[in-house]
Amino acid sequence: MADSLFDTSAMEKPRILILGGTTEARELARRLAEDSRFDTVISLAGRTADPKPQPAKTRIGGFGGAEGLAHFLSDEEIALLVDATHPFAARISHNATEAAQRTGTRLLALRRPEWQPEPGDRWTSVESVAEAVHALGTAPRRVFLAIGRQEAFHFEAAPQHSYIIRSVDPVTPPLNLPDQQAILATGPFAEADEAALLEAQKIDVIVAKNSGGSATYGKIEAARRLGIEVIMVERRKPANVPAVDTCDEALDRIAHWLAPA
Ligand code: NAP
């Protein structure tokens, strides 16, 4: 293809498409880009206004559903699709499974393990952000909302609480809530800084997604130390596809599957 990001002069190299948007995807892209045996491109949704530069060839924007992704996989002769998207990005993972099946493309999921509750944690586990709103209860509370901006609108149903809302980009459209304060920040977040924020803002409950990984774990550790409740939105059961937990495991699997003996 004339406008392909892949190296059209090196068709013998297996082509890898990474679906990204996470720290792990970025790390995998960096390490594969340094590996001359493979030709790697990372794909981003384009949600973040000012994304960190990626350490590999990058395409940005949706594919047009599972069908569009299937066309991309066929047209670009992709040997391996790596789904390294965020564990709560359900639609793209569903599309990846379907497109890989349709085209017979190998699929590998790179998913960081979920956090597990530890002694001292005060978690209330819920299945969705909408359920988290109910779990806050009716009495006014000071809430630290750390679920990203896309589903923050659910909390308009509970305007009696005070909210500190942290996200990478501003919540749009602005939330219709009488008492809210926005913090724009990108992780990683250290436990000591998180504890200082929770204390300064007199937070009595955190709403978080069980994302796993270390970059956003600081607030969970800080909540444990300070005895603050965490309403934890748990993950849905993932599709049954070959999956690994870490970048190292992904590289081993890729070498096993794709590298010439
Ligand atoms: P989503 O609901 O699963 O996906 C919505 C649509 O966005 C997809 O159907 C696809 O459009 C497009 N898309 C998503 N990821 C893409 C990628 N890596 N490359 C190209 N297109 C992509 O996803 P989301 O929850 O909006 O998340 C968007 C991105 O942000 C993901 O890449 C994810 O890794 C990252 N992220 C998400 C969260 C979260 O909590 N959801 C947190 C941190 C980072 P088409 O159907 O047109 O192909």
Give the pLDDT confidence score for residue 260 in this predicted structure.
Answer: 66
Domain 15-113+238-258 falls under CATH 3.40.50.720: yes
Q: So where are the chain's domains?
A: 15-113+238-258, 123-233
**Same-fold call for 15-113+238-258 versus 123-233:** yes
Residue 91 Cα to ligand 1 midpoint, Å, equals: 7
Closest ligand 1 atom, residue 85 Cα: 34
**Looking at the domain that runs over 123-233, which CATH code has it been given?**
3.40.50.720
Tell me the average confidence (pLDDT) per consecutive run of 10 residues in the chain, 261 residues long.
77 93 95 96 92 91 98 97 96 98 98 96 98 98 97 98 97 97 96 98 98 95 98 93 97 92 60
Residues making up the chain, counted from first to last: 261
List ligand 1's pocket residues with C-beta within 6 A: 19-22, 43-45, 47, 62-65, 68-69, 85-86, 88-92, 95, 148, 150, 209
Give the pLDDT confidence score for residue 150 in this predicted structure.
Answer: 94
Q: Which residues contact 22 (CB under 8 A, 6 or more apart)?
A: 84, 85, 86, 112, 213
The closest of 136, 129, 70, 139 to 103, measured between CA atoms, is 70
Ligand 1 pocket: which of 18, 85, 150 to mutate (most atoms within 8 A of CB): 85
Closest ligand 1 atom, residue 86 Cα: 34
Give the pLDDT confidence score for residue 49 in this predicted structure.
Answer: 82
The closest of 234, 197, 187, 257 to 38, measured between CA atoms, is 257
